[in-house]
Structure 1
């Protein structure tokens, strides 16, 4: 008779993942929308079969008081792939504001700052000490690390980050990209962000492009860089496939 054991509580599972270093990385390309050239890879943590999604994993780790430690593990695993990033492209990793303020995380990033890396801030809550955060991002930027604000257009936090941090990269949220080819309001907002990014000298990346129509609309609006299943799915670096539009 087969005995099925009940699943471990999420906090214990998170601790197991951390102690066993049970994280794998997938890499999704960021491409030039005009010719399909790969400009970057975003490193995405995977915790199969322990958690159904990275969101669940990091939430469980945060609840267990080890959220920053798990983010650091994911960053360290991502940085192991730097030697396989194509010349001229950068490697992007995701970090919460809490993790970015951690000295060990900062030193880890600085140790690889000259190798073409970027940090995407994924915080979805209001930051109460922007002065300290700006000090860190300025230090990283001075060393050569690109600073990106994720989820632009999704809410208050991302817009505050943009205003305070003056990022090198602005990433359009998937909720803005999805269906942009049929929604004039989404198109108008994207067009304004294209102009805004140009004015401050930032790169604009549209996330979540899943159809040819979305790709073409964004390209027509002047968005130069994009990411999504239409161009390439997350996967190992040697096998990442790029769909170059005809």
Structure 2
């Protein structure tokens, strides 16, 4: 298991907010397949904690002050104290609550993330259990709207209604909003017009291994003018 870091952009400041760490497996299968298999075999927490440890060990390449987010199920977050690694406090950290996490496994995630002094993100809002109700109950720091909403927004009144509902829920509890799946300049213009705070997607970068991160961020600055201070 290896990781790439996909940049997250602050749209209002046109600057780099930080990165999401994305798992990559040598057998070519998608991360979802690996984690779904681990869940079915009863070793999801083990695999997710292994991933978190490896991410934490791979962040020397990231300058001070940036946000690094990691995906986790509700169960893994609730057993986070079992991890033997410590977070590098020169960085800011976030745990992305997986959309497939059942509500019964998420009852303590807000308290735990506050105790850990890390941000809580609701991942892939609009899919599975990542509903407006979850947003209102957990009051996360950031709500990430699923890429399907950005891709389908222009052509579907139903998608538009769902998008507006999720944005309203996020804003009503003080959360920042992040658009996933931003792939074109048109997508950037759309999410800016909808008032999103942050964005990520292939328009900015697919994701970079640690060794290539600095040059990749300098190229991002040259290509679209994103402030990447520290790189």
TM-score higher than 0.5: yes
Partner of 2:229: none
With over 3 angstroms needed to count, the CA separation of the structure-2 counterparts of 1:204 and 1:28, relative to structure 1, is: same
Q: Does residue 67 in structure 1 map to residue 44 in structure 2?
A: yes
Aligned residue pairs, count: 218
Q: How does 1:108-187 map to 2 (within 5 A)?
A: 108=83, 111-112=86-87, 114=89, 115-128=91-104, 130=106, 133-134=107-108, 136-187=109-160
Question: For 2:17, which of 25, 29, 39 is the aligned residue?
Answer: 39
Q: How does 1:1-80 map to 2 (within 5 A)?
A: 23-48=1-26, 50-80=27-57
Q: What is the CA-CA distance between 1:204 and the residue it aligns to?
A: 0.5
Partner of 2:169: 196
Residue-by-residue CA offset, 1:55-101 (whole Å, 9 max, x unaligned): 11112222333221111111111111333223332100000112222
TM-score in terms of structure 1 length: 0.78
Larger radius of gyration: 1
Question: For 1:81, which of 58, 62, 79 is the aligned residue?
Answer: 58
Q: What is the CA-CA distance between 1:180 and the residue it aligns to?
A: 2.5
**Cα distance between partner residues in 1 of 2:156 and 2:187:** 10
Query: What is the SS of the residue equivalent to 1:118?
Result: strand
CA RMSD of superposed structures (Å): 2.5
Structure 1 unaligned segments of length 5 or more: list them: 1-22
Asked if structure 2 preserves the Cα contact closer than 8 Å seen for 1:153 and 1:173, the reply is yes
With over 3 angstroms needed to count, the CA separation of the structure-2 counterparts of 1:61 and 1:188, relative to structure 1, is: closer
Partner of 1:205: 178
**Cα distance between partner residues in 2 of 1:88 and 1:25:** 20
Residue-by-residue CA offset, 1:151-202 (whole Å, 9 max, x unaligned): 1122444434312211111000111111434445434443444343333211
Structure 2 unaligned segments of length 5 or more: list them: 227-231
Partner of 1:244: 224
**Cα distance between partner residues in 1 of 2:84 and 2:131:** 22
**Cα distance between partner residues in 2 of 1:128 and 1:224:** 30
TM-score in terms of structure 2 length: 0.82
Query: What is the SS of the residue equivalent to 1:138?
Result: helix
Residue-by-residue CA offset, 1:132-156 (whole Å, 9 max, x unaligned): x32x431322332000011112244
Query: What is the SS of the residue equivalent to 1:111?
Result: coil
When structure 1 is superposed on structure 2, of 63-72 and 37-46 the one drifting more is: 63-72
